[in-house]
Amino acid sequence: MAQLFSAEWMNQLKDAWNADPEVSQKLADINFSSTISCGFKDEENPRGVFVVENGICTSAGDWNGEAPDWDMRAEMKDWLKWVEKGIGMMGLGTAYATGKLKFKVGDYSAMIKDPRMAGPFVKSFGLMQQVGADELG
């Protein structure tokens, strides 16, 4: 398995994303395009970046200064728990409400209220579980 948020891991997630019509096609249907970054709460900058154009992830890898539309942060132990066990809509809501999942950029509340975005967002965490991950060295 690749290390969480490494370029290799981000590209495995990209492949899983593009192969899953419940994510890529549903987001293509609403012309969803965004730069999504993710990393750890205690770090200034994100680790990985994921660029989506009309639902399809067109590039993924190490964050290199891109300005994100969405920047998700959590502690490593929480990311690894979600990657290992998955997380559903209720778990995501709890993680957000308790501060385990933070959005440095992006409006979680507006997104989660829009079923056209909420479903694929929750499903993307299932893709992380499908990919799996190793801790950072």
Q: In the CATH hierarchy, which top-level class contains the domain 7-128?
A: alpha beta
Per-residue pLDDT of the chain in tens (137 residues, 90 and over written 9): 789 999 999 999 999 999 999 999 999 999 999 999 999 999 999 999 999 999 999 999 999 999 999 999 999 999 999 999 989 999 999 999 999 999 999 999 888 889 899 999 999 999 999 998 887 65
Instruction: Confirm if 118 and 72 have CB atoms less than 8 A apart.
Output: no
Contact 39, 5 (CB under 8 A): yes
Q: What dihedral do alpha carbons 18, 19, 20, 21 form, nearest 10°?
A: 80
Query: Would you state the pLDDT for residue 2?
Result: 85
Where do the domains of the chain lie? 7-128
pTM of the predicted structure, to 2 decimals: 0.92
Nearest to 54 by CA among 23, 20, 30: 30
pLDDT score recorded for residue 112: 87
Q: What is the pLDDT of residue 136?
A: 65
